[in-house]
Amino acid sequence: MNENINSFDGLNPEIFIDAVEESLGTRMTGFAAPLTSYINRVYELQAVNGKRFIAKFYRPGRWSKEALIDEHNFILDCEEVEIPVIAPIVLKNGKTLGEINGIYFAVFTKKLGRFFEVCSDVDWKRLGSILGRLHIVGARRKAVARIKHHPMTSTLEEINFLKDGMFISSRYMQEFNSLTNDILDTIGDLFENIEYIRTHGDCHCGNLLHRPGEGIMLIDFDDMMTAPPVQDMWLLLPDHACNSKKELKLITEGYAQFREFDFSSVKLIEPLRIMRLLYFLAWCAKQEKDLKFQSNFPNWGTDSFWRQETSDLRNQLDIIKQDI
């Protein structure tokens, strides 16, 4: 057998269709449509009875088995209380996680829907309501294998990954080092004595579907993390917190129908934004050898790239300092 067949890049329809067919105990057709995903390998498949499935093959080394189980447990906990989600199917092994050649995978029933668009005050309150329900579930148990989204843990690790891996242009290394030290010194203490719960982690409108009769459906929990609850709000906002006061008011009104909101945590929104900028840079570094990434980010790693990124970080840090 070709050595590459056992690798993540060597996944082909013959391998993954057989794996899904065996795990479900359902005969599949040869239909396999790849779906957009930089990190994982995701395919739409079809059974001989016409039913469609989404199979997600997780990139080795990104999440541990325990972290993937944390993700699945969170989704299943949501499903149990009828929060609209797409839960992983329990496979023939009695688990939601399968394995082929050392690669973990999950299978989901395909569900159609359109991306949720916020068109009214009522829609903002609906977003708050679904997040309030989500966070009631998120607070019920811990996800010990998942990232704790804190400046001095996850963000520090991402900064060190970029510096230790020499991903930063030499021309901007000194500035990046000074800038990130300033960032951590500025925002680190803001995250002390703050509630941390299981959160979606990547809650933007692209991960919300609207299904007639079911309301707003939360999808793609791949970046699930332990974080302050406001993590699931700020990505939905149209602008910086100071320019989104109306939207924040409406979201928190909807949220408060199900769960008390800590209004002091609004001060974390702009720090969370700068933490996401650093997360994105580390994410880019981890994908730099992927051919799809190279074609989509041809400027990655150049002097001009790092000039823009350090400028963006500096501007965001200035906004944070003005707020505190």
Active-site residue flag, 185: no
Q: How many CB atoms lie within 10 A of CB 267?
A: 16
Catalytic residue among 121, 123, 182, 202: 202
C-alpha 87: how far from chain center: 16
Would you say how long the chain is, in residues?
A: 324
Cα 153–Cα 158–Cα 164 angle in degrees, nearest 5: 120
Q: For residue 243, count CB atoms less than 10 angstroms from its CB and return exposed for 0-12, middle for 13-18, buried for 19 or more.
A: exposed
Compute the half-sphere exposure of residue 151: CA atoms within 13 Å on the CB side of its CA: 21
Return the biggest CA–CA distance within the chain: 61
Number of other CB atoms surrounding residue 185 within 10 Å: 10
Q: Is 220 a catalytic residue?
A: yes
Catalytic residue from among 220, 222, 223, 232: 220
Give the other-Cβ count within 10 Å of 144's Cβ.
10
Collapse the DSSP code of 18 into the 3-class scheme (helix H, G, I; strand E, B; otherwise coil) and give the result: helix
Half-sphere exposure of 127 (CA within 13 A, CB side): 27
Cβ-based neighbour number of residue 78 at 10 Å: 22
- Residue 108's SS3 state is strand
Give me 302's structure tokens. Answer: 């150049």
Q: Which residues are catalytic?
A: 202, 220
